Structures are given as C-alpha cells and as structure tokens.
Amino acid sequence: MAQNEQDIIGEVTSSDYKYGFVSDIETETIAKGLSEEVVRIISAKKNEPEWLLDFRLKAYRKWVSMEAPDWAHLNIPPIDFQEIIYYAAPKKKAELTSLDEVDPELIETFNKLGINLEEQKILAGVAVDAVIDSVSVKTTFTDTLSKLGIIFMSFSEAVQHHPDLVKKYLGTVVPASDNYFAALNSAVFSDGSFCYIPKGVRSPVELSTYFRINAANTGQFERTLIVADEGAYVSYLEGCTAPQRDENQLHAAIVEIIAHRNGEVKYSTVQNWYPGNKDGLGGIFNFVTKRGMCEGDYSKISWTQVETGSAITWKYPSCVLKGDYSVGEFYSVAVTNNHQQADTGSKMVHLGKNTKSTIISKGISAGKSNNSYRGLVRINPKATNSRNFSQCDSLLLGDQCGAHTFPYIETSNASSIVEHEATTSKISDEQLFYCMQRGINTEKAIGLIVNGYAKEVLNQLPMEFAVEAQKLLSISLEGSVG
C-alpha cells in the first residue's frame, strides 16, 4: 500500500481534473428537447419491443405531471429540459463483432481514461462495459462469462437477446413513478448495463461499467439492472468521468439490483464527473436513483461509493430488506470542494425479520462547498429483531464550507435496535504541524489525514478501485487549505 501512497503523492502536487478532455468522435444526435415524439424516436432507434415503448410512454406521462423535488439541501438552478439532447451515440457501422471495427478515437478515449478495451490487456479479473454518452460501445469478456451462464451486456442488447429477463425485472425496484428523475430516466434512458448471475454461480471476475459523457448539451440517462439469482454472487464496479465544459450537464441514472435467496451483490462506485471549475462554473448535475431489493432470505446487497465529482449530487443508494435475515450495507465517502454541493446518503427499509443494515458515511467538505448526509432507516412492524447501525462523520477543511446531517429513523416494533452515531471534526492545526514536523508538506499531510479518515470505507473497495479512490481523494482536495 505504501507504494500506492507514493503514486498518490506524486499526483497530488500536479494535477487538476485530468479527465476534462473532449474526444472528436462522430456522434449521431437527435434534435434537442423532450416530447412524446422524442420518446418514440429513442425507442424506435433502439428497435425496442412494444412493451418497452409503453413503459417509456407511461413514464413520460408521469414525468410531465411531476415537479422537480426541492427538499434536498441543495441549490439547484432551474433546468430547461427542452434544451437538452436526449440521445447521442457514437456513430457506428451496423453490429460490431470485434474491437477492430470500433472507432479508433473511441478506443483512444478509453485508453486515456485508463480503461483498456482490448481484452488481453485488460486488468485480469475485470470485465468492462464501456458506455459513452448514451450508448454502450464495448463489453469485454462476454464469451468467458457466458460459459458460466452469466449475462453481462449492454442494456440495449439485453432487450434484444433476453427480453423476458429484462421485462421481468425492469422497474420492479425503482418504479417509473418513484421520483421525478426516475420518471425522466424511465422515459428516455438510452443504454446501460444488464447483468444476470444464474443460480449458484459466483462471478469469477469483477464486472464493471465505465460511463463517459462526451458530446455537448446532452444528458446521460443510463440504466443498470443487476440480478443475482439464488446463491449467486457478483462484485460490480462503476466509474464515471466527463469533459470539462462551462455548461452544466444532466446525468440522471437508475441502478436496480435484485438479490434472490442467498444471493449477494456488491456494488462499488467511484464517481468523478466533472465538478465544475473553481468558481462553480459548469459541471455535472448528478441525480441518480440507486436501489437494491433483497428479495430472498439471507440475501445481501452492499453499496460502496466514493463521490468526488459533479457540481451537484443527489443520490441515495438504498436497500429494501424484504427477505428474512437479509443484509444491506452502505459505505460512502463524499468529497465536496470549491462550489460543489452534495446531498447524499442511504435508505434502509427493513421488511423481513432479523434483517440487518449498516450505514457508514464519511463526508469531507472543503472550499465553499456544502455536503449533506441524508438517511432513512425504517423498520416495519413485521421486521422483528432487526438491527441498524449508522455512523455519519463529517470532516471540515477551512471555515467556508458546510456539513449537514439529516437522519430519519422510523421504528415500528420493539424488538429491533437502531443505533446512530455522528461526529463532526476538522483537520486540526496540531495534526498538520505534527506531519509537517516529520518532513511531510501540507498537501501530502492533508491527503494522508483524509485517507486515514475515509479508511473504513476505502477498505470496502476492490483493490484496483481503492488505489484509484485514494488518488482521487487527494486530488479533489488539492489547494483546499491555504
């Protein structure tokens, strides 16, 4: 680990947002604006079956009747939904059979992001689905996985090849009517990843989706659907970056996870969307609905997120613990700097008996940013002997940032136990002086202290991701202490 620390340290002193480049890829877009017609066009472009078009249209009609939520501790400028392009895709020739047919500029783009799409060069043990703008461009390792019966492909492909599975699960965890942004996504989602692990299979590799926004004035609306059948296990990674632009761009995604009896899904995110510049200009609006359903007894869903990007983050990865003895976990590090705003946390809804949930949230605020934890723990009358432990820590750097905690706890039976702990701290001058007296400069000292603070969460990440996340934490806070 110490060597990794060194790399991090090297990076901290130099870099800014390093994924801010724009790739020159031929893109096919439709006219901006949103209407029933646009929904039909998207569906037609993707050659979707009738039921899916209906799903979209219902969602659209629902969305029209809804209003954007304003309960979060966020200052969201009004979004003109008619100014957004809802479909942008890298142009491609018919069906791709090998990587040779992919636009070289596209491959280059992913190389720059450190994601190599050529299978022999890919980090052993990680299968990647690369989504650029709204379309999945390449999924790796599909053959290896399919031998085990694992389905891992872009959402559009899944609609074509496994319509029954998609139809069975789509919208069962996050219904289109769930919230404003979920309805919007359900109407216009363009692609994403689909993953199904059959009974008793443990995925031998980490599955990962890499999201990239490239085209200007577009929104990214992807959907991820993960199903772990009885006794199945998968670890899933998600990464995101976007070019540096002065306009805000909207990202409204949905992730749905279903775990059947004894099934387990571990979902890790390193979110690094462009956060806007130092004065708060530009950046991604990240309004995402992520929810997992522990459907069967003894199932388990675990969310781990490292959130460093986006101008505004509105996101509450949640678990519905329906099966008896099911387990939900949420581990989060959310960093805000400059003018970033984050309102993030989790919901744990206990329905089954003897269910257990854990929430560990570490907020880090710097600059003029605002960082809120919002969490709900609900224990229903029938969820007897259930347990929740929540720990929400906030770390402040400087005196112009804000940290807020909004815990909601609802327990409806007497046999369950809910614990909530919260702390707020600052990096003390004494800690910095101590590090510096040992020869470590300020920025490195902050990186060290912040990584130490977030360790409990970082330890939950798969190895490759943990290294990336540590670097990100240090970089995101660069120059935050004068």
Partner 1 sequence: MLQIKNLHVSVQGKEIINGLNLEVKAGEIHAIMGPNGTGKSTLASVIAGNTNYEVTQGEITYNGKNLLELPIEDRAREGIFLGFQYPVEIPGVSMTNFMRTALDEIRQYRGQEPLSAGAFLKYMKEKKELVELQDKLNNRSVNEGFSGGEKKKNEIFQMAMLEPQLAILDETDSGLDIDALRIVAQGVNKLKSADNATIVITHYQRLLDYIIPDFVHVMYEGRIVKTGDKSLALELEEKGYDWIKEELKA
The token pair that represents 451 in the structure block: 């990584």
Cα 92 vs. chain centroid, distance in angstroms? Answer: 27
Please report whether residue 9 would count as binding partner 1 according to CB under 8 A.
yes
The residue type of 358 is: T
Number of residues that bind partner 1 (CB under 8 A): 29
Please report whether residue 452 would count as binding partner 1 according to CB under 8 A.
yes
Task: Kindly tell me which residue out of 444, 446, 468, 476 binds partner 1, with binding defined by CB under 8 A.
Answer: 444
Q: How far is the CB of 466 from partner 1 (least distance, A)?
A: 13
The token pair that represents 97 in the structure block: 């059979």
Q: How far is the CB of 458 from partner 1 (least distance, A)?
A: 9
Mapping DSSP to helix (H, G, I), strand (E, B) and coil, where does residue 77 land? coil
Please report whether residue 114 would count as binding partner 1 according to CB under 8 A.
no
Please report whether residue 482 would count as binding partner 1 according to CB under 8 A.
no
Please report whether residue 381 would count as binding partner 1 according to CB under 8 A.
no
Please report whether residue 82 would count as binding partner 1 according to CB under 8 A.
no
Please report whether residue 434 would count as binding partner 1 according to CB under 8 A.
yes
Task: Kindly tell me which residue out of 79, 198, 455, 479 binds partner 1, with binding defined by CB under 8 A.
Answer: 455
Q: How far is the CB of 269 from partner 1 (least distance, A)?
A: 21
Please report whether residue 104 would count as binding partner 1 according to CB under 8 A.
no
Please report whether residue 141 would count as binding partner 1 according to CB under 8 A.
no
Round to whole Å and give the CA distance between 99 and 252.
29
Task: Kindly tell me which residue out of 26, 69, 433, 463 binds partner 1, with binding defined by CB under 8 A.
Answer: 433
Spatial contact of 206 and 235, defined as CB atoms under 8 Å apart: yes
Q: How far is the CB of 444 from partner 1 (least distance, A)?
A: 7
- Kindly provide the b/e burial profile for residues 249-284, where b requires at least 16 CB atoms within 10 angstroms of the residue's own CB: bbbbbbbbbbbbbbbbbbbbbbbbbbbbbeebebbb
Q: How far is the CB of 237 from partner 1 (least distance, A)?
A: 23
Round to whole Å and give the CA distance between 386 and 416.
5
Which listed range, 52-60, 146-154, 318-326, 452-460, lies at the site for partner 1 (CB under 8 A)?
A: 452-460
**CB nearer partner 1, residue 3 or residue 97:** 3
Which listed range, 308-316, 320-328, 338-346, 444-452, lies at the site for partner 1 (CB under 8 A)?
A: 444-452
Task: Kindly tell me which residue out of 15, 35, 111, 428 binds partner 1, with binding defined by CB under 8 A.
Answer: 428
Q: Locate tokens 């029933």: which residue?
A: 36
- Phi (first) and psi of residue 448, to 5 degrees: -65, -45
**CB nearer partner 1, residue 153 or residue 469:** 469
**CB nearer partner 1, residue 33 or residue 479:** 479
Q: How far is the CB of 265 from partner 1 (least distance, A)?
A: 27
Please report whether residue 399 would count as binding partner 1 according to CB under 8 A.
no
Strands 327-336 and 206-212, by their bridges, are unpaired
DSSP run (H or E) holding 187 = helix 180-188
Q: How far is the CB of 449 from partner 1 (least distance, A)?
A: 6
The residue type of 283 is: G
Binding residues among 159-198 for partner 1 as defined by CB under 8 A: none
* Spatial CA neighbour of 338 closest among 276, 427, 248, 425: 276
Please report whether residue 119 would count as binding partner 1 according to CB under 8 A.
no
Round to whole Å and give the CA distance between 468 and 472.
6
Dihedral over alpha carbons 358, 152, 112, 451 (to 10 degrees):
10
Round to whole Å and give the CA distance between 348 and 388.
8
Task: Kindly tell me which residue out of 64, 422, 436, 463 binds partner 1, with binding defined by CB under 8 A.
Answer: 436
**CB nearer partner 1, residue 65 or residue 437:** 437
Q: Locate tokens 């257990």: which residue?
A: 356
Q: What share of the chain is helix, strand, coil (3-state, %, to 5)?
A: 25, 35, 40
Please report whether residue 435 would count as binding partner 1 according to CB under 8 A.
yes
Q: How far is the CB of 313 from partner 1 (least distance, A)?
A: 23
Task: Kindly tell me which residue out of 11, 431, 464, 479 binds partner 1, with binding defined by CB under 8 A.
Answer: 431
Round to whole Å and give the CA distance between 216 and 282.
12
- Please list the residues that pair with 408 across neighbouring strands: 376
Round to whole Å and give the CA distance between 98 and 118.
10
Task: Kindly tell me which residue out of 65, 147, 429, 482 binds partner 1, with binding defined by CB under 8 A.
Answer: 429
Q: Locate tokens 């490195």: which residue?
A: 444
Which listed range, 4-12, 119-127, 131-139, 246-254, lies at the site for partner 1 (CB under 8 A)?
A: 4-12
Spatial contact of 318 and 348, defined as CB atoms under 8 Å apart: yes
Q: How far is the CB of 73 from partner 1 (least distance, A)?
A: 27
Q: Which residues here bind partner 1, judged by CB under 8 A?
A: 1-3, 5-6, 9, 428-431, 433-442, 444, 448-449, 451-456
